[in-house]
Amino acid sequence: MATPIAIRDITKTYPAQGVVARNTAVDRVSLDIESGELYFLLGPSGCGKTTLLRMIAGFIEPTSGSILFGSRDVTFLSPNHRNTGMVFQSYALWPHMTVAANVAFGLSVRKTPAAETATRVAEALRAVRMEQYGERKPNQLSGGQQQRVALARAIVVRPDVLLLDEPLSNLDAKLRIELRAEIRRICKESGITTVYVTHDQKEALSMADRVAILNQGRVVQVGTPRDLYRRPASVFVAEFLGETNLIPFESVTRTDSSSCVYHTAAGSITGPASSIERGVLSVRPECARLVAGESGGLHGRVLSTTYLGELAQYTVQLAGDIRLNISTLNPGDEILTTGSVAALSIAPCDVHVLAG
């Protein structure tokens, strides 16, 4: 059975050195990661996600708090006593060894018998679809193939926990997209509890079972990709996880138990009921609809139009000096031109109310 992870009030503080002030890289983080879950740590550079991953791996000792793999306290165990597999950003393959020898390295350290090693290496290479490359050297492989070998080397030891530190960041955009599905497939088929660090929102949205978003050393929200995207808990999460428009409102009129009308400088917008009386409305670009012409509701002037084939992107100036970015999927021939007037509609379910 896969191993759950419990992180309790983990803190890592680095002491002041000279003119450099005391720095808390991870600040009282608590997380519960379920057995077999593909769990992402997501956030901007310097938010503490890599420090947290390295504490889970045992490369960095926490200042306080605890880490449990199942019922086993591993907080201060050395990395080689945690039974984790690690995939680094740089692949870290031995250039003089064959692919098969690289994958077998962890088993040789564990003194696994030769026959079992051969079987497990073959299984690991098959899992990453690299079985025909076993006798090649790393420099004979593409970047994507090298990353698959690094993943095979991590899973061949049958770790309790698999840790991935921005494994796709060195690859080109097309290859990153191709490998997202492959890595998720491998992790889910193996059933290993996996913690994956990235700053790439698309990776997290497309691959994760759940995501913890970090900022300045703290977890600011945890949830499924859909929940985080559709229901961000703060302006930071709304802006970090994809693109959004933030529309300030100054007052609210309650219409019934489930909806309110929010009064903005651009006009009134109906959204879900909220106890927030003054804040911002978060509206994703793909959630607004534009139609040529002026109506009695929201309307504005198109400042710019970008046609990208499958979608058209608009910047629209509304009253009150409010600008919205709007995306229209499959625009066809009905492209709004710069300078034209357009009416805007937003479904109440696509409006998210946040404290300003």
pLDDT at 91: 78
pLDDT at 297: 76
Task: Answer whether 261's CB lies under 8 Å from 252's CB.
Answer: yes
Domain ranges of the chain: 5-238, 244-355
In the chain, the amino acid numbered 98 is T
The pLDDT tens digits for 214-269 are: 999 999 999 999 999 999 999 999 999 989 999 999 999 988 889 999 999 999 99
The pLDDT tens digits for 1-18 are: 679 999 999 999 998 776
The pLDDT tens digits for 301-340 are: 999 999 998 899 999 999 889 999 999 988 877 788 899 9
Percent of the chain with pLDDT over 90: 70
The CA distance from 316 to 328, in Å, is 13
pTM for this entry: 0.90
The pLDDT tens digits for 81-104 are: 999 999 988 878 889 999 999 999
Q: Match domain 244-355 to its CATH number in 2.40.440.10, 3.20.20.80, 3.30.390.10, 2.40.50.140.
A: 2.40.50.140
pLDDT higher than 80, residue 45: yes
pLDDT at 1: 64
* Structure-model confidence comparison of residues 293 and 35, the more confident one: 35
Quick one: which of 64, 89, 270, 226 has its CA closest to 163? Answer: 89
Q: Which of 61-70, 113-122, 292-301, 303-312 has the lowest mean pLDDT?
A: 292-301
Quick one: average pLDDT of 140-150? 89
Q: pLDDT band for position 33 (50/70/90)?
A: very high
pLDDT at 182: 87
The CA distance from 344 to 316, in Å, is 9
Chain mean pLDDT for the chain: 92
Q: How far apart are the first and last CA of the chain?
A: 45
Task: Answer whether 209's CB lies under 8 Å from 36's CB.
Answer: no
Q: pLDDT band for position 71 (50/70/90)?
A: very high
Q: Token pair 């995207």 is at which residue?
A: 229
Percent of the chain with pLDDT over 70: 98
pLDDT higher than 70, residue 20: no
The CA distance from 111 to 105, in Å, is 10
pLDDT higher than 90, residue 194: yes
- Give how far the C-alpha of residue 20 lies from the chain's centroid of Cα atoms, to the nearest Å: 30
Q: Domain spanning 5-238: which CATH class is it, in words?
A: alpha beta
pLDDT higher than 90, residue 21: no
